[in-house]
Amino acid sequence: MDSREYSFYFVGTPIGNFEEMTYRAVEILKSVDEIWCEDTIHSKPLLNKFNINKPLQSFHKYSDESKVNECISKLLSGKKIAYISDAGMPCISDPGARLSKAMIDNNIDYTVVSGACACINALILSGLDCDNFYFVGFLKDKQKEKKQQIDNVKDLKCTLVFYSSVHNIQKDIDYLLDNLGDRQCAVMREITKLYESVVRGKLSEIQLDAIKGEYVIVVEGKEEEKSNLTMEEFLCERLKTLDGKTAVKETAKEFGIQKNEVYKLYIEKYKDF
């Protein structure tokens, strides 16, 4: 291999299409002593396709602390281990995050082998702002926790990315509509597969033809609230806390005009503010 060797690898796997498995991922999985999987049965078809024959261990959200300790003990004894999730990047809405914390606590070096992530694919497919986004993941099951989760993000101006299961997709869309308002969104399923689908529109307009598979819901951020102040009033308010240059810049941005127009007003009325 042309890269440093580690004791532990988080290995990204395809989110749908097996052909997107990377050469390095195959190479690493063939080199380790064991492969730990979120679900061994789910992972076997992928491993079989690339002739990867290694002992498998399951590690999922219900695995107790003894399983974490078993992994650490094997690593300290010299074994090399890789972890893969059911699809995509480990630790993203995935129990693998518990393993990374345990390795840091035990001073064990690990690395990440790049791979697909449904969040990123969906963000690009959505056509919404990709420069600034917030990954929320799955909505909580308990109503109080779910409400807190949405309250934490509803005022963000950036794009929001949610995961949803086949059992919750319509319920989640309805919940987002009720709590975020009728925003532009895109709902994706079967990403990278033959029947990949993207439905775009307002949350109230989304209609899903077939309810199957895992979903990603991408929702636009909260719109900027326009000020009710006039340009002169807005500039005056900004000058109470900002220097002239910054106040002029923010005023021009707020009203969508050239800075020299605001600067002229600033010179005429507020130069000695």
Domain boundary among 116, 131, 148: 116
pLDDT value of residue 225? 67
Does 23 lie in the same domain as 106? Answer: yes
- Verify that 28 and 88 share a domain, yes or no: yes
Please give the Cα distance from 161 to 198 (Å, whole number): 14
CA-to-CA separations, 68 to 23, 34, 128, in angstroms, rounded = 28, 14, 39
**159-172 residues labelled b (16+ CB within 10 A) or e (exposed):** bbbbbbeeeebeeb
Predicted local confidence at residue 264, as pLDDT: 83
User: Do 123 and 94 fall within a single domain?
Assistant: no
Indicate if 156 and 209 belong to the same structural domain.
yes
- 65 and 152 in one domain? no
Same domain as 21, residue 103: yes
The answer to whether 14 and 20 have CB atoms below 8 angstroms apart is: yes
Please check whether residue 56 is in contact with residue 35, taking contact to mean a CB–CB distance below 8 angstroms. Answer: yes
Query: What is the residue-level pLDDT of the chain in tens, covering all 273 positions?
Result: 567 889 999 999 999 999 999 999 999 999 999 999 999 999 999 999 999 999 999 999 889 999 999 999 999 999 999 999 999 999 998 898 999 999 999 999 999 999 999 999 999 999 999 999 999 999 999 999 999 999 999 999 999 999 999 999 999 999 999 999 999 999 999 999 988 999 999 999 998 877 777 899 999 999 876 667 788 878 788 888 888 888 888 888 887 788 888 888 878 776 655
Cβ(36)–Cβ(75) under 8 Å? no
Q: Is the pTM of this model over 0.85?
A: no
Among the candidates 88, 116, 144, a domain finishes at 116
Same domain, 204 and 248: no
**Nearest of 149, 206, 208 to residue 180 by alpha carbon:** 149
Overall number of domains in the chain = 3
Show the domain range for 188. 119-219
Output the six-digit token pair for 28. Answer: 């690493």
